[in-house]
Amino acid sequence: MATGANEFFLLTNEARERLPAQATVRAVRRLRNLAGDRLTLEAHDDLAVLGERSWLVLLADPALLADPEVAAWLEAAAASGVKDRYLPSHRDHWYLVEDIEAPDVIVSPMGKGRMRAVFNEARAVPSNALYGIYLDGKKGLSVRLTTWLNSPDGQTALLERARAYGAGLFKLEPRDLLAVTIPTEVIDGDLADAPTSARSSRVST
């Protein structure tokens, strides 16, 4: 999910409370302050309490535009030049970000010796600083893949594909993540009978 203006489209708890609940969806901008490898509803709420911008403004319902608080948000964003920025200016409606499906697993593509993966139980939409893996909602497979990606073997597989930068920093490109070979036991029958085209998990950024 790329907003083109995170400071307006990604809200803290305090800012989100001013808008109708239907005007926002759960989002995650980074994994730095997340404890553990599951992004549960409670864990997402904890991130929001810490001041993380954990809510995405999504005005998918046109009726929301009549709400006074939404109108005030739109006016403030427009006055700050958001609608003239590159991404917003190329949308049919500058304020309407892409309504993407929440991935099953979220991967942080940058790290110093470690690439974090989390099971997205909260169904939060990740920012474009993170990668999403889609597994057709298969919870067991998502948990097993997350566990393996965070294991020594999984980390080795990820780092072998990552590009090394200075000060011990590594970064994965989407095609690098797609090239990681996953052990058969991780799949454990979930995709064994699927067509070949369905066996390659979809990765988005």
pLDDT digits (tens, 9 = 90+) for 54-113: 999 999 999 999 999 999 999 999 999 999 999 999 999 999 998 889 999 999 998 887
- 22 and 80 part of one domain: yes
What per-residue confidence (pLDDT) applies to 203? 56
The answer to the question of residue 142 being in a domain is: yes
Range of the domain at 199: 105-204
Q: What's the total number of domains in the chain?
A: 2
Position 18 in a domain: yes
- 193 or 32: whose pLDDT is higher? 32
Quote the pTM value. Answer: 0.86
Tell whether 189 and 146 lie within a shared domain: yes
**85 lies in the same domain as 109:** no
Which of the residue ranges 2-6, 67-71, 127-131 has the most confident prediction, judged by mean pLDDT?
A: 67-71
Q: Is the pLDDT of residue 195 over 70?
A: no
Query: Do 132 and 174 fall into the same domain?
Result: yes
Same domain (yes/no): 130, 61 = no
CA distance 156 to 182: 12
Q: Are residues 137 and 60 in the same domain?
A: no
Judge whether 56 and 30 are in contact, CB under 8 Å: no
Q: Is 94:9 a contact under the CB 8 Å cutoff?
A: no
Half-sphere exposure of 84 (CA within 13 A, CB side): 4
